[in-house]
Amino acid sequence: MEPILSVLIVCIAAFFAGNLNALAGGGSFITLPTLVFLGIPPINANTTSAASLLPGYLGSVIGFKNLYRDLNPKHLITLTIIASSSSILGALLLINTEDKIFMSLLPWLILFATLLFIFNPKRTENKENRNNLPQFLGVTVVSIYGGYFNGGLGIATLAALSLGEDMTIKHLSAIKSLLSFILTSVSVCIFFISGFIEWSYVFYMMIFSALGGFFGAKLTQSLPEDVVRKFIIITGFLVTILLFLY
């Protein structure tokens, strides 16, 4: 395949992946198969995909910037600390083992996360009675998962966040983008130090994933809550099917 055509393909894939990650997650299922198709080994394609989508998460964070002022700073800081520290374990797990059992569990994890997002009962509006421990535990598990395998990270993170205090889906999406950016940054640093990233297409993909993430965040804020929620659920089921086929 001609180099220019290959670059064009990865740029288009990165843009749509960044857009999808901002809306619901699952962007890796665009970039990962694309990189494998272009001849990059699966594990390196996974780590390279994570690195390529990193600016897309940042673009989403910038696109959601108006929503962060509504959130509790202490709660947000706690979540970021949990996400960054837990993702280290997932990244180390990926580069040090080929755990087929863990890979076989991935579609079930995303299916569970999707169902949890659908059926999770409303949290109490009384701030004094809110218990965020289930949310913190959920974010811990999801961050380990995200450090290991970035696919389906968005829907899993949304499900974990839904276990905490009651927020709009748009605010949950904003936090999801921030945590995804932070935990992916940590894992990509580990992948970089360990030499697990293929740099052939990363620069181009980073630019287009950032653009996709920014426009995806703006699109999320412009859509009705119910539409965003349905899109997230549909994406969750599609990601589950793709994981079963992975």
**Domain that residue 40 falls in:** 3-245
Q: How confident is the model at residue 73 (pLDDT cuts 50, 70, 90)?
A: very high
| Mean local confidence (pLDDT), 147-159 | 85
| Mean local confidence (pLDDT), 226-235 | 82
- Burial call 188-221: b when 16+ CB within 10 Å, e when fewer: bebbeeeebbbebbbebbbbbbbbbbbbbbbebb
pLDDT of residue 124: 42
More confident residue, 22 or 110: 22
pLDDT of residue 130: 59
Give CA–CA dist 38/124, Å, rounded: 49
| Mean local confidence (pLDDT), 97-121 | 74
pLDDT of residue 62: 93
**pLDDT more than 70, % of the chain:** 92
pLDDT digits (tens, 9 = 90+) for 163-196: 987 788 889 999 999 999 999 999 999 999 999 9
Give CA–CA dist 60/184, Å, rounded: 13
pLDDT digits (tens, 9 = 90+) for 200-213: 899 999 999 999 99
pLDDT of residue 30: 87
Nearest to 147 by CA among 100, 89, 104, 102: 89
As for how many domains the chain has, the answer is: 1
pLDDT of residue 29: 82
Exposed / middle / buried, residue 171 (Cβ in 10 Å: 0-12, 13-18, 19+): middle
